[in-house]
Amino acid sequence: MDIAATCINDIIRQLEDPTILCDPAACRNLMAKVMNMIGRGVDVSNLSPHIAKLLAHPDPMVKKVACEFVCVQTEKSSDLMLLVVNSLLRDCSDSSPMTRGLSLRTLSSLRQESASEHILQAVQKGLVDHSSYVRRIAILSAVRLHRLSPDLVIEMGIVDKLYSLIRDSDPVVVVNCLLALEEILKDEGGVVINQKMVYHLLLSMPKFTSWGQAYVLTLLKKYTLKSEEETFDILNILDTHLQESSYSVFMHSLQLFLLYISTLPHLKEKVLFRCKEMFVSGLNSGNVELTYSIIVFIENFLDDSKSVFCECYKSFFCRFKEPPYLKIRKIEILPRLVTPHNFLEILGELRMYCSEVSSMVSFSAMKAIGQISKQDTDYFDRCVQKLEELLEIPEDSVWANVLQVFELLDLRSYARLDNLMQIICSKSHLQPTNENGCCANLFLIGEYGHLLDDSPYILEEFIGNYLEECPDVIRTYLLTAVMKLFLMRPAKCQHLLGRLLEVCVASRNKDLNSKAYNYYYLLKQGPEFAKEIVLNKRFSH
């Protein structure tokens, strides 16, 4: 017998022991063990009949856990239902609202169609209960019942009852009604929201919990405004919710606001400006998951209302303790926030991230600098120079990453290109160990290698040392590099190209093979034609 089964037998034995049953503390302890086992995914269905008895236990805590057990297990043992229904129905009339609520919740969670009549009875009673706690549960229990037998809910007029409860004095009851109707009437488009209700809900907003407010604001999106006058009326009320202490309420208000002014697009940026403080404090909240979610939300506005966020660019700077995924997300946004005014500061900040311990973070910072360089010719030289500085860091991975960024840039206009190529061609780094870095390196030699006298020798040496062990990707890059260099410096590269083409044509790799044949063909057409095709291919578009 395995351990779990022994455990269960042990629990059963204790549950049959009257001294333990009379001791609430011991009973609670036992229940904690059971819940623990459920959490771990142990099959506890053998316990069902024993736990069912505990529904009548005098200790409310034990009763609660027994109910929790029933909710979880109801599908696994259909006999369980028969054991518990009567006891739960009895408790639905208990004098304590807590017990009434608990048993109603449990009863309606019995996912067995044969229970629906009982549930209906209890729900109907619960909807008119004088305790708001019970009403709250009864409303959502009606949705549970609807899932079990939809027709029953519709036929018995529960929908009307729910509509009338929207006027209830308890704010949670009101919100639950809306949510329940939205779900029950899903096929017909959900709860119907008319003008009267919109005003009623908006004016009751302060009474709702912040979650309730968020739900209501979401539902209000369904309402289409009738007139301009009404629009401004409603916007005025909504406006107060744009400065909330809860970010979900803020976000939902903002979304609703923007939806209502979608016909007045000139207002959008103004509204966002008003919300700037909320965004900034959210970004500085120190809650990393929240910061991340707010950034994702902000990304929706970056295309057309960038200026709002360009002003608070500092809020997008990384903090040391933030997890890499958040840093990377922030870094990816920064290039979009660059203005002539903050350019240097953002560049300096990104430069700092380039020496992060996490190479994914540092790589994305390098890529971001590359992005910025493309935005404006004024930025270009400074950005490339910053990247060039990074090459001095004696770290192979940094080297490889910087070269990959260079690969994506058109460096022809860079003032210090000669010097840069000198550094890049310091031979010791050209090794196939880092595949991406090596490819980028070869690419750069092909593209700009004609500026240096000794680039053919570097390639020659590389071929001599590593060609045998090179993976095909690197060989493809190598072939292109040699081809380009040959077209610029035919005399020095002829023998290299010849040797390489021979190897590549014999390769079984399709890409490499077809590339080699392609080059053969181009060369046959004459060097001018080949130059036209090979050298001008990249940056001409």
Partner 1 sequence: MYISEIFITTTQGDVLIDKQYRFDLTVDAKAIFLNKLRNVGSDHLLPYFVQDNLTYCHIKRNGLYIMVVTSCEISPIFLVEFLTRFFHICKDFCGIVNEDAIRANILLIYEILNEIVEFGYIQLATTDKIKPYIQSDPVLVLANRSPAEEIASRLFGIETRVAPSSASSKPVVRTAAEQENRKNEIFVDVIEKMVAVVNADGLVSRMNVTGNINVKSFLSGNPVIKLALNEDLTLREQSHPKDFGSHVTMEQCSFHQCVRKEDFNDSRCLVVHPPIGEFSAMTYRLASDPPLKPPFRLQVYEREQESSSTDTSLSLQLHSHIPENTEAVNVILRIPVPGTVTGISQQLNGPDQIVEFKTSNKQIVWKIKKFPGSSFLTANIRLISHSGIKTRLKDIDHVVMEFEASGYTCSGVQIRYLRVFDRDQAYVPYRWIRYITVSDSYIFKL
When binding is defined by CB under 8 A, the residue of 117, 396, 453, 502 that contacts partner 1 is 396
User: Does residue 41 bind partner 1 (CB under 8 A)?
Assistant: yes
Name which position in 40, 196, 524, 541 contacts partner 1 (CB under 8 A): 40
Piece of the chain touching partner 1 by CB under 8 A; list 354-362, 469-477, 492-500, 508-516: 354-362
To partner 1, the closest distance from the beta carbon of 64 in angstroms equals 6
Cα 253 to Cα 22, 240, 268, 532, distances in angstroms: 53, 9, 13, 58
Nearest-angstrom CA–CA distance, 137 and 77: 25
How many binding residues for partner 1 (CB under 8 A)?
A: 81
By CB under 8 A, residue 429 contacts partner 1: no
**Which residue pairs, CB below 8 angstroms and at least 24 apart, start in 116-124?**
116/145, 116/148, 116/149, 116/152, 118/85, 118/89, 119/144, 119/145, 119/148, 120/145, 120/152, 120/153, 120/156, 121/89, 122/88, 122/89, 122/92, 123/158, 124/156, 124/158, 124/161
Would you say 39 or 528 has its CB closer to partner 1?
39
Taking CB under 8 A as the binding criterion, the range among 115-123, 291-299, 302-310, 419-427 that sits at the site for partner 1 is 291-299
Under the binding rule (CB under 8 A), the answer on residue 281 touching partner 1 is yes
**How far from 477 is each of 86, 313, 466, 496, CA to CA, in Å?**
77, 39, 14, 14
In 218-324, DSSP assigns E strands to: none
Asked if residue 3 binds partner 1 (CB under 8 A), the reply is no
Distance of closest approach, residue 266 Cβ to partner 1, in angstroms:
26
The conformation of residue 223, written as its DSSP 8-state character, comes to P
**Per CB under 8 A, does 130 bind partner 1?**
no
Among 57, 100, 144, 336, binds partner 1 (CB under 8 A): 144
Q: Residue 135 or residue 475: which is nearer to partner 1 going by CB?
A: 135
DSSP string, 407-446: HTS-GGG-TTHHHHHHHHT-GGG--TTSHHHHHHHHHHHH
Rounded to whole angstroms, the Cα distance separating 513 from 504 reads 6
Q: Judged by CB, which is closer to partner 1: 228, or 277? A: 277
Tokens of 502: 């021979």
Among 18, 169, 229, 320, binds partner 1 (CB under 8 A): 320
Query: Residue 416 in contact with residue 385, Cβ under 8 Å?
Result: yes
Residue with tokens 């290039």: 335
Based on its alpha-carbon atoms, the radius of gyration of the chain, rounded to whole angstroms, reads: 35
The least distance separating partner 1 from the CB of residue 470, rounded to whole angstroms, comes to 24
**Closest CB to partner 1 among 244 and 447?**
244
Q: Considering beta carbons, is residue 75 or 113 the nearer one to partner 1?
A: 75
Contact pattern for partner 1 over residues 160 through 199, marking x by CB under 8 A: ------------x---x--x--xx----------------
Beta carbon of residue 218, minimum distance to partner 1 (angstroms, whole number):
6
Contact 464, 499 (CB under 8 A): no
The answer for residues whose C-beta is within 8 angstroms of residue 371's C-beta and 6 or more apart is: 335
In the numeric block, the tokens 């004095």 are attached to 169
C-beta of 502: minimal distance to partner 1 in Å?
A: 38
CA distance 65 to 54: 9
Candidate segments 46-54, 230-238, 266-274, 393-401, binder of partner 1 by CB under 8 A: 393-401
Report the nearest approach of partner 1 to the CB of residue 413 (Å).
Answer: 28
Q: Which of residues 58-117 bind partner 1 (CB under 8 A)?
A: 60-61, 64-65, 68, 72, 75, 98, 105, 109, 111
What's the first-to-final CA gap in the chain, in angstroms?
A: 73
- How many whole angstroms from its chain centre is CA 531? 47
Q: Does 45 bind partner 1 (CB under 8 A)?
A: no
360 binds partner 1 (CB under 8 A): yes
Tokens of 27: 């009973």
Q: Is 490 in the site for partner 1 (CB under 8 A)?
A: no
215 near partner 1, judged by CB under 8 A: yes
Piece of the chain touching partner 1 by CB under 8 A; list 130-138, 367-375, 409-417, 458-466 = 130-138
**Cβ atoms < 10 Å from Cβ of 319:** 12
- Asked if 301 is part of the footprint of partner 1 (rule: CB under 8 A), the reply reads no
Position 460 contacts partner 1 (CB under 8 A): no
How far is it between the farthest Cα atoms of the chain? Answer: 102
Point out which span in 27-35, 222-230, 334-342, 533-541 binds partner 1 (CB under 8 A). Answer: 27-35
User: How near is the Cβ of 535 to partner 1 at its closest, in Å?
Assistant: 37
Q: Which is nearer to partner 1, 120 or 318 (CB)?
A: 318
Instruction: Specify the residue, 265 or 348, whose C-beta has the smaller distance to partner 1.
Output: 348
- 352 contacts partner 1 (rule: CB under 8 A): yes
